[in-house]
Amino acid sequence: MIEVRGLTKRFGEKKALDDLSFTVREGVAYGFLGRNGAGKTTMIRILMNIFREDSGEALIDGAPAWKEMRRIGYLPEERGLYSKRTVIDQLIYLGKLKGMNPKTVDRDARVKLAEMDAAEYTDKKMETLSKGNQQKIQLAVALLGEPDIVILDEPFSGLDPINAQILKDAVRRQVSMNKTVIFSSHQMGQVEEFCDDICIIDAGHAILEGNLSEIKRSYPRNRIYIAADADGAAGGAAGAEKLSALLRDLPFVRAAEPYEAGLAVTIDEPGKKRALLQAAVGAGLSIDVFSVIEPTLEQIFVEKAGHGNPRGENK
Amino acid sequence: MKRIGTVIRFEYLGYVSAKVFRVTTIIFVAAILILCFLPQIASQFSKIDAFQGEKDKAVILLGGDALANPIYTSAFSAKTLESAVKKTTWTDGNKEDYSEEDLKKLIEGGDCLFAVYYNGGTDYSFFAAGSKISAYSALGTLDALVTESARQAAIARLPEGQRGEAAAISGMAAQVNLIEIGGNAENNFWIGYVIMFFLFYIIMGYGNYVSASVIAEKTSKAMELLITAAKPLDLMIGKVVGVGFAALTQVAAIVAAAAVGITANLTQWKAFQPTVFEMLTGANVSAALAALLLLFFFLGFFFYAFIMAALGSTVSRAEEAATTTMFPLLLLTAGLVLGFFTLSGAMNKALVSVLSYVPFFTPFVMMGRYSMGEVTVFGAAIGVIVLFAGVLVIAVLAAKIYRMGVMMYGTPATFKTVWKALIARG
């Protein structure tokens, strides 16, 4: 378990982290979200013992994080390796520095390259690889030595869809192996795809933290997706028309708008769901879909971090 | 320690496998071999000269008592002169046959390089083609010949019974038996001189490489991964020692080439340049001196290389490094100059003593003092301890700057940020 308690970090007059606290449970994929300059990379660099905190602490299983560095695989935001050295030389070098067995590091490095679909670049110099392939090599470095904790800072930036998919598969493997994966990004779709828990930070302070499903469930469940059928064709135009006409007469309906194959209906309160369903069925509509629409992570993020928040940008 | 070993190996292999290292080593080795084979090369050129018959021409005209004295006529015969003043073909003649004007015309016309107008005794005129330096080199030999001939003639004029004593007096010279105990300051001077130069160039070249290598790690963004995998101090020590070993490899290649070259040309060097031969082979370097010179060499390298690594970490571009590393390189140059002054004995001894315990100058000044026998082994050992302590302090301070500097991109470090890094914990 990773615990961050009251971390504060200043760069001159600028407060990059402001009493930041959060907890990462063991074996979960954790999304660390924030706008550009919110303090994500600073937080990660403190966790990786690159920066020193001004106050507060970062603990891994109760011990200071800097004492547990060998348990962490790290893909930094600022990526790069030695351009003139071969891929395998660099993996072996970094593997040895991470404390891997010198006798097996060569074999392990080759396995990791194969997992990243990069075996063909083993003896190539880094400078000859494309940016995407270099990024795959970097992820192979991060995963070398089978670390318990994997920290990925903006892992998908600058990747084409095929390489992004390879990286996603690699991350999924880590999650399925019950590793703790901390995922820093502002690409909400990818975080939503992988992460169980999230923390949104703004101006160096956590403004929302917890289990993503619970967070979503905590939002008012008064937005309903209804797809109905009036003439035998599910979600057909006649069904939508009849439903629209019905909704106009219901006093607890605040708004209705086209949504996927039907309508998104906003009602006064979640408790009116049953009344809405009964009204639709009573009007002779055959209901194909009736479900609560949960907010997307992007909507939650924009709501929490994208408004005229007084903390706003911190850089 | 294990990590430092890993970094040393990586840095060493990276450097020695680089094209620039291989090319410069080959050039250095080739240059040193050419230098070692210089006597043979020079003798080949002499043969070519001889074959082409490009001997200087000279005229000697005897007059006065020379004509009547067999000693002079024998000494100034063309045969004697050709063996004494080599590469010269002599023509002799009677002074009465030529005027001084005639000789000047001969030289101006290029018919001969120089001429001697002998008046008798030790009096002679030497006419030289002023624009040619080889004319003057003959003058010294001729001078000795004239003096000796005059002395012989004078002795010949003495009564028979006095000649032996006179000859003994004229040939009298001091008989010195030089017994050197504990090394030879003259040879040590050269050894000190050569090692100081070596140290200076090694620090200049490889120190700059250390600095450039740190900048390359920053610009390639490899640094963030590196400092999460190993301590900055380990990384820095590994880099400096790795590069130091690479420097040592190059120096070893050069020294080996020199050893092979000199061994293969010992006889030629002895004949070609006796002084240089003596310098190359006659140095009586004691084990203590060799150990101290090596210690100063390595500690001096590490002292400056750590500074260069730390300063390299404070900038993000190679072109900025020149400004940052200018200060230590100025100190390095000052150290070299002070070292030379120490060797030549041109500096105030009290000042030299003080400077020899200032770590920036210790490698050079203490090396100079010890080479010249101006400090005891104990004093030199104190110098080693001071320098070693200096290396440790600089390594710790440099690691702090390095840790801060390597994560700074874009803006170069200011004095304030460097100071903050130095006083930071850990």
| Binary contact (B229, A97; C-beta < 8 A) | yes
CATH code at B56-170: 3.40.190
Contacts of B425 in chain A (CB under 8 A): 52
Report the residue from A52, A76, A97 with minimal CB separation from B230: A97
**Cβ separation of A97 and B221 shorter than 8 Å?**
no
How close are the terminal C-alpha atoms of chain A, in Å?
30
**Chain A environment of B407 (Cβ under 8 Å):** 45, 50-51
Contact between A223 and A61 under an 8 Å Cβ cutoff? The reply is no
**Residue A230's pLDDT band (boundaries 50, 70, 90)?**
low
Chain A: give the shortest CA distance to residue B18, in Å.
9
Distance CA A16, CA A5 (A): 15
DSSP E strand stretches across A154-296: 180-185, 197-202, 205-211, 223-229, 253-259, 262-267, 286-292
How far apart CA B420 and CA B416 sit, in angstroms, is 6
Mutating which of A50, A51, A88, A184 best tests the B interface, going by the most B Cβ atoms within 10 A? A50
Helical (H) or strand (E) element with B248:
helix B232-264
d(CA A313, CA A305): 10
Both structure tokens of B385: 């301890």
Q: B67 exposed, middle or buried (CB, 10 Å; 0-12, 13-18, 19+)?
A: middle
Tally of CB atoms within 10 A around B335: 26
Q: How many residues does chain B have?
A: 426
Instruction: Determine, for residues A141 and B225 on separate chains, whether the beta-carbon distance falls below 8 Å.
Output: yes
Note whether B424 contacts A: Cβ–Cβ < 8 A: yes
Residue A31 has pLDDT above 80, yes or no: yes
CA–CA gap between residue B239 and residue B337 (Å, rounded): 28
Quick one: what percent of chain A has pLDDT higher than 90? 35
DSSP one-letter string for A103-161: TTHHHHHHHHHHHTT-GGGTTSBGGGS-HHHHHHHHHHHHHTT--SEEEEESTTTT--H
Cα–Cα distances in Å, from B172 out to A188, A256, A307, B140, B160?
104, 130, 109, 21, 20
Q: Is B18 near chain A, with CB under 8 Å?
A: yes
| The pLDDT of residue A311 | 47
Nearest to B258 by CA among B33, B21, B22, B63: B33
With CA atoms as reference, report the closest residue to B408 among B320, B303, B304: B320
Query: How many Cβ contacts (< 8 angstroms) between chains A and B?
Result: 58
The CA distance from B398 to B422, in Å, is 8
- Is the CB of residue B139 less than 8 Å away from at least one CB of chain A? no
pLDDT at B226: 85
Expressed in percent and rounded to 5, the helix, strand and coil fractions of chain B are: 70, 5, 20
Give the residue among B415, B396, B418, B416 at the shortest CA–CA distance from B406: B418
Cβ separation of A78 and B228 shorter than 8 Å? no
DSSP state of B18: S
User: Within a 10 A sphere around the Cβ of B37, how many other Cβ atoms?
Assistant: 17
| Lowest-confidence region among A33-37, B131-135, B222-226 | B131-135
pLDDT at position B331: 92
Q: Among A45, A85, A94, select the one facing B225 at the smallest CB separation.
A: A94
Give me the helices (H) in B38-97, please: 38-51, 70-75, 78-84
Q: Does A130 or B175 have the greater pLDDT score?
A: A130
> A80: which chain B residues are within 8 Å (Cβ-Cβ)?
219-222
Using an 8 Å CB-CB cutoff, list chain B residues near A76: 221, 224-225, 228
| Residue B305 pLDDT greater than 80, yes or no | yes
Of A81, A89, A96, the CB nearest to B222: A81
Question: Is residue B69 within a helix (H) or strand (E), and if so which, with residue range?
Answer: none
pLDDT at A313: 41
In 10 A of CB B239, how many CB atoms? 29
Of A52, A96, A141, the CB nearest to B424: A52
Q: Smallest Cα–Cα separation from B223: which of B62, B93, B56, B404?
A: B404
**CA distance, residue A122 to nearest chain B CA (Å):** 17
Cα nearest neighbour of A65 on chain B: B228
How many of the other CB atoms lie within 10 Å of CB of A90?
Answer: 22
Look at residue B393 and tell me whether its pLDDT is greater than 70. Answer: yes
Cβ of A76 and B10 within 8 Å? no
Task: Tell me the CB-side half-sphere exposure of residue A180, using CA atoms within 13 A.
Answer: 15
Q: Are strands A262-267 and B88-94 parallel, antiparallel or unpaired?
A: unpaired
Q: What ipTM goes with this model?
A: 0.75
From the centroid of its chain, how far is CA A296? 12
* Helices H / strands E in chain A, number of each: 10, 14
Query: How far is C-alpha A133 from the geometric centre of its chain's CA atoms?
Result: 22
| Per-residue pLDDT at A17 | 92
Q: Would the CB atoms of A76 and B222 count as touching at under 8 Å? A: no
How many Cβ atoms from other residues are within 10 Å of residue B233's Cβ? Answer: 16
Residue B220 to residue A83, Cβ atoms within 8 A = yes
In Å, how far is A194's CA from the nearest CA of chain B? 24
Token pair 């070693």: residue: B388
Tell me the two tokens of residue B179. Answer: 């017994």
**pLDDT tens figures, B104-135:** 888 888 788 888 887 777 788 888 877 777 77
Q: What is the pLDDT of residues A254-286, one digit of tens each?
A: 999 988 888 999 999 888 999 999 998 888 888
Q: Summarize the confidence of residues A17-37 as an average pLDDT.
A: 90
Domain boundaries, chain B: 2-36+183-423, 56-170
Q: Please enumerate, as own/partner, the contacts of B11-18 that have beta carbons within 8 Å and a separation of 24 or more.
A: B11/B213, B11/B238, B11/B239, B11/B241, B11/B242, B11/B243, B11/B246, B12/B242, B12/B243, B12/B245, B12/B246, B14/A82, B14/A84, B14/A85, B14/B242, B15/B209, B15/B242, B15/B243, B15/B246, B16/B246, B16/B249, B18/A84
pLDDT on residue B185 = 62
The B residues from 205 to 264 touching A (CB cutoff 8 Å) are 216-217, 219-222, 224-230
Q: How far apart are CA B51 and CA A30, in angstroms?
A: 89
DSSP-derived letter for residue A295 is: P
Higher-scoring residue by pLDDT: B292, A142: A142
Best B2, B3, B218, B224 member to test A by mutation, with max A CBs in 10 Å, is B224
Q: How far is A92 from chain B (nearest CA, A)?
A: 10
* Shortest CA gap A160–chain B (Å): 21
pLDDT digits (tens, 9 = 90+) for A177-229: 889 999 888 778 888 888 889 999 988 899 889 998 888 888 888 899 998 87
List residues of A whose CB lies inside 8 A of any B CB. Answer: 45, 48-52, 69, 72, 74, 76, 78-85, 89, 93-94, 96-98, 138, 141
Residue B359 is inside which H or E element, if any?
none
pLDDT at residue B56 tops 90: no
Top mean-pLDDT range of A248-262, B215-229, B270-284, B405-419 = A248-262
Q: Are A69 and B220 in contact (CB < 8 Å)?
A: no
Give the closest of B220, B227, B407 to A80, CB-based: B220
Closest CA to A280 of A261, A307, A293, A262: A262
Q: Do A78 and B224 touch (CB under 8 A)?
A: yes
Residue in chain B closest to A126 (alpha carbons) equals B220
The model carries a pTM of 0.70
Q: Using the 8-state DSSP alphabet, how is residue B206 labeled?
A: I
User: Minimal Cα–Cα distance from B313 to chain A, Å?
Assistant: 15
Cβ of A52 and B409 within 8 Å?
no
Q: Does A124 have pLDDT greater than 90?
A: yes
Give the per-residue pLDDT at B335: 92
Closest-CA residue of B relative to A139 is: B225
| Nearest residue, CB atoms, A74 vs list B10, B228, B407 | B228
The alpha-helical segments, DSSP class H, found in A70-115 are 87-97, 105-115
CA separation for the pair A239, A303 (Å, rounded): 33
Q: Give strand pairing partners of A55.
A: A8
Check if the beta carbon of residue A38 is closer than 8 Å to that of residue A31: no
- Which residues of chain B lie closer than 8 angstroms to A50, CB-CB? 224, 227-228, 407
SS3 B236: helix
Residue A154's nearest CA partner among A79, A48, A71, A82 is A79
Q: Are B305 and B203 in contact (CB under 8 A)?
A: yes
Contacts of B22 in chain A (CB under 8 A): none
pLDDT at B303 over 60: yes
Residues A3-35 as b/e (b if ≥16 CB within 10 A, e otherwise) read: ebeebbbeeeeebbbbebebebeeebbbbbbbb
